Amino acid sequence: MKHTIKIKIYYEDTDCGGVIYYANYLRYLERARTEYMESCGLSLKKIKDKGIQFVVRHVDIEYLLPGYYSDTIIVETTVEKAEKLRIVFVNNIINESTMKIMAKSKTTLICINNNFKPVRIPLEISEKIVNQHI
Protein backbone atom coordinates (compact mmCIF):
# COMPACT_ATOMS: atom_id res chain seq x y z
CA MET A 1 0.00 0.00 0.00
CA LYS A 2 1.13 3.51 -0.82
CA HIS A 3 0.82 6.40 1.60
CA THR A 4 0.86 9.91 0.13
CA ILE A 5 1.22 13.44 1.44
CA LYS A 6 1.15 16.76 -0.38
CA ILE A 7 3.65 19.53 0.30
CA LYS A 8 3.44 23.08 -1.03
CA ILE A 9 6.80 24.53 -2.01
CA TYR A 10 7.55 27.90 -0.44
CA TYR A 11 10.21 30.45 -1.33
CA GLU A 12 12.26 29.26 1.65
CA ASP A 13 12.47 25.81 0.02
CA THR A 14 14.28 27.09 -3.06
CA ASP A 15 17.87 28.00 -3.85
CA CYS A 16 19.23 31.06 -5.65
CA GLY A 17 18.28 29.46 -8.97
CA GLY A 18 14.64 29.29 -7.94
CA VAL A 19 14.47 25.50 -7.70
CA ILE A 20 13.93 23.30 -4.66
CA TYR A 21 17.22 23.12 -2.79
CA TYR A 22 18.40 19.51 -3.01
CA ALA A 23 18.88 19.00 0.76
CA ASN A 24 15.25 19.95 1.42
CA TYR A 25 14.20 16.65 -0.13
CA LEU A 26 15.52 15.00 3.06
CA ARG A 27 13.04 17.09 5.08
CA TYR A 28 10.17 16.02 2.81
CA LEU A 29 11.18 12.36 3.13
CA GLU A 30 11.31 12.65 6.92
CA ARG A 31 7.86 14.21 6.99
CA ALA A 32 6.49 11.48 4.73
CA ARG A 33 7.97 8.69 6.89
CA THR A 34 6.50 10.25 10.03
CA GLU A 35 3.06 10.49 8.43
CA TYR A 36 3.39 6.92 7.17
CA MET A 37 4.15 5.63 10.67
CA GLU A 38 1.24 7.60 12.12
CA SER A 39 -1.06 6.12 9.45
CA CYS A 40 -0.09 2.73 10.92
CA GLY A 41 -1.21 3.91 14.35
CA LEU A 42 2.35 4.50 15.55
CA SER A 43 3.44 7.68 17.35
CA LEU A 44 7.19 8.24 17.10
CA LYS A 45 7.05 10.24 20.34
CA LYS A 46 5.37 7.37 22.21
CA ILE A 47 7.88 4.94 20.75
CA LYS A 48 10.76 7.16 21.92
CA ASP A 49 9.15 7.43 25.37
CA LYS A 50 9.40 3.61 25.53
CA GLY A 51 13.17 3.84 25.01
CA ILE A 52 13.58 3.18 21.31
CA GLN A 53 13.73 5.23 18.17
CA PHE A 54 14.43 4.94 14.48
CA VAL A 55 17.42 6.65 12.89
CA VAL A 56 18.47 6.98 9.27
CA ARG A 57 21.32 4.66 8.37
CA HIS A 58 21.42 5.23 4.62
CA VAL A 59 19.68 7.34 1.97
CA ASP A 60 19.87 7.12 -1.81
CA ILE A 61 18.21 9.89 -3.81
CA GLU A 62 18.02 10.20 -7.56
CA TYR A 63 17.05 13.71 -8.67
CA LEU A 64 15.21 13.57 -11.99
CA LEU A 65 13.39 16.89 -12.51
CA PRO A 66 13.48 20.24 -10.70
CA GLY A 67 10.66 21.60 -8.58
CA TYR A 68 9.92 25.31 -8.21
CA TYR A 69 8.46 27.85 -5.83
CA SER A 70 4.65 27.48 -5.56
CA ASP A 71 4.64 23.90 -6.90
CA THR A 72 2.81 21.27 -4.92
CA ILE A 73 4.58 17.96 -4.64
CA ILE A 74 3.22 14.55 -3.74
CA VAL A 75 5.45 12.27 -1.69
CA GLU A 76 4.52 8.60 -2.07
CA THR A 77 5.85 6.24 0.60
CA THR A 78 5.96 2.46 0.68
CA VAL A 79 7.86 -0.03 2.81
CA GLU A 80 10.13 -2.30 0.81
CA LYS A 81 11.32 -4.36 3.79
CA ALA A 82 10.65 -4.56 7.52
CA GLU A 83 13.26 -6.80 9.11
CA LYS A 84 14.55 -7.50 12.63
CA LEU A 85 16.54 -4.28 13.02
CA ARG A 86 15.65 -2.17 10.01
CA ILE A 87 12.93 -0.76 7.81
CA VAL A 88 13.54 0.23 4.20
CA PHE A 89 11.29 2.98 2.84
CA VAL A 90 10.89 3.78 -0.85
CA ASN A 91 9.64 7.19 -1.99
CA ASN A 92 8.61 8.86 -5.21
CA ILE A 93 8.36 12.62 -5.20
CA ILE A 94 5.95 13.78 -7.89
CA ASN A 95 5.01 17.19 -9.27
CA GLU A 96 1.25 17.39 -8.70
CA SER A 97 0.51 19.49 -11.79
CA THR A 98 2.47 17.35 -14.28
CA MET A 99 2.34 14.03 -12.37
CA LYS A 100 5.99 13.51 -13.36
CA ILE A 101 8.41 11.93 -10.91
CA MET A 102 10.90 14.53 -9.73
CA ALA A 103 12.95 12.30 -7.43
CA LYS A 104 13.17 8.70 -6.23
CA SER A 105 14.66 7.57 -2.96
CA LYS A 106 15.33 4.62 -0.73
CA THR A 107 15.96 5.17 2.98
CA THR A 108 17.09 2.58 5.51
CA LEU A 109 16.18 3.17 9.16
CA ILE A 110 17.52 1.16 12.05
CA CYS A 111 15.96 0.74 15.46
CA ILE A 112 18.13 1.86 18.41
CA ASN A 113 17.77 2.15 22.16
CA ASN A 114 18.53 5.16 24.37
CA ASN A 115 22.23 4.18 24.37
CA PHE A 116 22.25 4.38 20.57
CA LYS A 117 22.75 0.62 20.26
CA PRO A 118 20.86 -1.28 17.54
CA VAL A 119 17.92 -3.29 18.90
CA ARG A 120 15.25 -5.53 17.44
CA ILE A 121 12.12 -3.71 16.29
CA PRO A 122 9.41 -4.52 18.84
CA LEU A 123 6.86 -6.99 17.51
CA GLU A 124 3.90 -4.64 18.09
CA ILE A 125 5.58 -2.07 15.82
CA SER A 126 6.70 -4.42 13.04
CA GLU A 127 3.28 -6.11 12.98
CA LYS A 128 1.52 -2.78 12.45
CA ILE A 129 3.85 -1.88 9.61
CA VAL A 130 3.67 -5.31 7.96
CA ASN A 131 -0.05 -5.90 8.42
CA GLN A 132 -1.14 -2.51 7.16
CA HIS A 133 1.31 -1.72 4.44
CA ILE A 134 3.28 -4.63 2.99
CATH number for 58: 3.10.129.10
How many domains does the chain divide into?
A: 1
Rounded to whole angstroms, how far apart are CA atoms 133 and 90?
12
Which residue range forms the structural domain that includes residue 15? 3-133
Rounded to whole angstroms, how far apart are CA atoms 19 and 60?
20
pLDDT in tens, the chain (134 residues): 799 999 999 999 999 999 999 999 999 999 999 999 999 999 999 999 999 999 999 999 999 999 999 999 999 999 999 999 999 999 999 999 999 999 999 999 999 999 999 999 998 898 888 765 44
Cβ pair 60, 106 in contact under 8 A:
yes
DSSP letter string over 115-128?
Answer: TS-B-PPPHHHHHH
